[in-house]
Amino acid sequence: MKYCYECGTPLTLRFLEQEGDTPYCEKCGCWRFPIFSTAVSMIVLSPDRSKILLIQQYGRPSNILVAGYVSKGESAEQTVVREVQEEIGLSVNSLCFNRSEYFAKSNTLMLNFSCTATSESLEHLNRQEVDQAAWFSWEDAEKAIRPDSLAQRFLLHFLERHRPDSGT
């Protein structure tokens, strides 16, 4: 970021304790921290937590996680509930933060949660946004998730921590 996003003045660097050299607008008298988008993705579990929901989207045949951008003013937890409702037509609870990763391609910080659906029904799927959705056993989800993707890294991290035999 070279210019102030409020007034267009070239930014200078000023030393900020704990942060180091940080962009600063002399005209506004404000620090200008980098701007990026925030999104959530969800490992949606079946009511008995034995299955994981994977979807296909945008005409691609690969299995991914439900995801969506956080709206301004919304908490990440609210986005999780809203996006699963909008895309899959399911209510979820028992949200639990899993892990996060910055995705440079879209300048987005992606926050991954697990959550539990109150039903396995996929009859209210939003067909305009989701091509296909299906429940997979934990083993099958691990094999079916899109390789070398953010979704795969989130899912593997979750499975590692929550496998019944992992002792956690």
Residue 6 contacts Zn ion per CB under 5 A:
yes
Q: Which residue is nearest to Zn ion (CB)?
A: 4
Residue 11 contacts Zn ion per CB under 5 A:
no
**Cα–Cα dist 157/136, whole Å:** 17
Buried b (16+ CB within 10 A) or exposed e, 139-159: eebbebbbeeebbbebbeebb
Count interface residues toward Zn ion (CB under 5 A): 7
Nearer to Zn ion, 1 or 96 (CB): 1
Nearer to Zn ion, 11 or 70 (CB): 11
**Cα–Cα dist 110/76, whole Å:** 10
Residue 80 contacts Zn ion per CB under 5 A:
no
Evaluated on CA atoms 139, 143, 144, 146, the torsion sign reads: positive
Residues contacting residue 89 through CB under 8 Å, at least 6 positions apart = 121, 122, 123, 124, 125, 126
Closest CB 34 distance from Zn ion, rounded Å: 15
Site string for Zn ion, 17-36 (x = CB under 5 A): --------x-xx--------
Helices (H) and strands (E) in the chain, counts: 3, 9
Q: Which of 7, 13, 16, 156 binds Zn ion (CB under 5 A)?
A: 7
Nearer to Zn ion, 27 or 99 (CB): 27
Question: Which residues bind to Zn ion, rule: CB under 5 A?
Answer: 4, 6-7, 9, 25, 27-28
